Chains A and B, each alone.
Chain A
């Protein structure tokens, strides 16, 4: 499962991994905005940014090919629209679509593979994102694998029991079997959630998560943000002036 890979990557020990989640989030947001608003000499700029991101991946000790490959999951969607743009005679727009979407995905991927998700969400909370939403997201991420595994078992059972279901039954019955499976999955998830809550209450859960590592925004984080800002904005300025 590929998300497990992400969990492993995010627990590395590099200078980038040690930075505060807020610092990295700010840097990525700045990068995304600067990239999204870029227009002139886009090809040179995206080549420069790709170089910078590759350098960051290597510096953070992440597997280069693995990260580049994972970020490529945006490309099928992009390719459809890039092809349409090409057909409409706008090659520059097609290049911009591919470049911008890939580089953005790469930047976000570097963020999440150098920051464990609980820390990232904790950082977002301190940046003002509603805590309730983040708690739901955290529960979601935690139980995603549990419920998915259950769904896989049920899918296997469904396939084993309904061999020729696809073609031989009337429409209503065709839908009945998977709908029944999903409603059972729903009921199990519901019961699961109640059990989870009781277990958490028994351990003193009072409505919000407590974290052990109360990370603070150190001077190194401020330096990191400043350096990232200068690098990102500076690159674009230099490219736009020179090219």
Chain B
């Protein structure tokens, strides 16, 4: 079943690639508008943080993640999984470079393999290359240097896949793609299985990599505190998406919350600030959804920029 599921949902690996035609206009437009400056920022940051000789490295590492899908990890009788790689890239190249590599992978997949849409590219980039990757990096940056290192790596792999998948599901729900509660629950359950697998695979590869050459792996402390601002942004992003779905589809989110417990926390956490937007003068459903989405994402983007600026200044001083 997981293999069938993967072949349906994640044909080429990175998780759930949303094709064109699934997302409603407010959703894809909002996410495209959000993804463009984020990717620009990541590209600039990666370009500054990595010596010029590493440009081929980033491309070849993207090819590595592509090729890694051919190596199967046996799980149980008849089932197997493969590396998805967002967290692994963040641990080995650093988060900014990992974001650029993942975006490049998504672009090549959309153009060359017709896996994932062009208008939906913003959504896919936000889900996998930005939020998923950062959520994967979060535990590593906090506990990666201490005695919980192994657990942090596992958790990172788990979170990266889970975040991407939940965001993709939220966006589909928000776009009005019908998903009965039972289907949703099964999807989330299977995604959780895939995510556990991703955590285990990421951990196994990290350990093997460190035995070959410890320099392949970036130590989390070298990145310092500014990463945490980004991570916070990713967590909030996840929360907002959950809430947006919660407000639009109370039934859908209920089963999501039952299945994971994540969304319910998110709901409690973010209910207050977003309520204002919805009680405003936006009356039509279309405008309200778009408004809430835009406002939420704008909020996050602003918060991320602010965190980045503040932390950068702190380091400079």
Closest to B172 in A: A81
**Inside 8 A of A147's CB, which chain B residues have their CB?**
60, 63-64, 66-67
Partner of B21, one of A100, A117, A135: A100
- Distance from B183 Cβ to chain A, minimum over Cβ atoms (Å): 6
- List CB contacts (< 8 Å) of A116-170 with chain B: 117, 120, 130, 132-133, 135-144, 146-148, 150-152, 154-155, 158, 165-167
Closest to A2 in B: B113
Which one of A57-65, A181-189, A234-242 is at the B interface? A181-189
Contact B111 A36, beta carbon cutoff 8 Å: no
**Inside 8 A of B178's CB, which chain A residues have their CB?**
81, 84-85, 88, 90, 93
The number of chain A residues touching the other chain, given as a range, is 35 or more
- Distance from B63 Cβ to chain A, minimum over Cβ atoms (Å): 4
Partner of B44, one of A70, A87, A130, A178: A130
Closest to B92 in A: A186
**Inside 8 A of B100's CB, which chain A residues have their CB?**
132-133, 136
CA gap between A132 and B42 in the complex, in Å: 10
Contact A193 B56, beta carbon cutoff 8 Å: yes
CA gap between A16 and B47 in the complex, in Å: 35
Contact B21 A101, beta carbon cutoff 8 Å: yes
Partner of A179, one of B20, B101, B207: B207
**Inside 8 A of B108's CB, which chain A residues have their CB?**
137, 140-141, 144
Partner of A136, one of B62, B70, B113, B118: B62
- Distance from B85 Cβ to chain A, minimum over Cβ atoms (Å): 10
DSSP majority for the B interface?
A: helix
The number of chain B residues touching the other chain, given as a range, is 35 or more
B43 lies within 8 A of chain A by Cβ: yes
Given known contacts A73-B113, A90-B178, A189-B63, A136 and B21 CB-to-CB distance under 8 angstroms = no
Contact B53 A197, beta carbon cutoff 8 Å: yes
**Inside 8 A of B117's CB, which chain A residues have their CB?**
32, 101, 104-105, 108
A109 lies within 8 A of chain B by Cβ: yes
Contact B8 A139, beta carbon cutoff 8 Å: no
A176 lies within 8 A of chain B by Cβ: yes
Contact A136 B104, beta carbon cutoff 8 Å: yes
- Distance from A97 Cβ to chain B, minimum over Cβ atoms (Å): 6
Contact A152 B70, beta carbon cutoff 8 Å: yes
Contact B25 A36, beta carbon cutoff 8 Å: yes
- Distance from B311 Cβ to chain A, minimum over Cβ atoms (Å): 22
- List CB contacts (< 8 Å) of A47-75 with chain B: 70-71, 73-74
CA gap between A180 and B220 in the complex, in Å: 23
Given known contacts A100-B20, A190-B216, A73 and B112 CB-to-CB distance under 8 angstroms = no
Contact A88 B180, beta carbon cutoff 8 Å: yes
A26 lies within 8 A of chain B by Cβ: no
Contact A132 B119, beta carbon cutoff 8 Å: no
CA gap between A93 and B200 in the complex, in Å: 38
Binding site for A on B (CB under 8 A): 7-9, 11, 17, 19-22, 25, 28, 39-40, 43-44, 46-47, 52-64, 66-68, 70-74, 77, 83, 92, 100-101, 103-105, 107-108, 110-115, 117-119, 172, 176-180, 183, 200-201, 204-205, 207-209, 211-213, 216
A–B complex contacts, Cβ < 8 Å, 14 sampled = A28-B118, A93-B178, A97-B22, A100-B20, A105-B114, A109-B114, A132-B43, A136-B59, A137-B108, A144-B67, A147-B64, A183-B212, A185-B68, A189-B63
Binding site for B on A (CB under 8 A): 3, 6, 28-29, 32-33, 35-37, 70-71, 73-74, 76-78, 80-81, 84-85, 87-88, 90, 93, 96-97, 99-105, 108-109, 111-112, 117, 120, 130, 132-133, 135-144, 146-148, 150-152, 154-155, 158, 165-167, 174-176, 178-187, 189-190, 192-194, 196-197, 200-201, 207
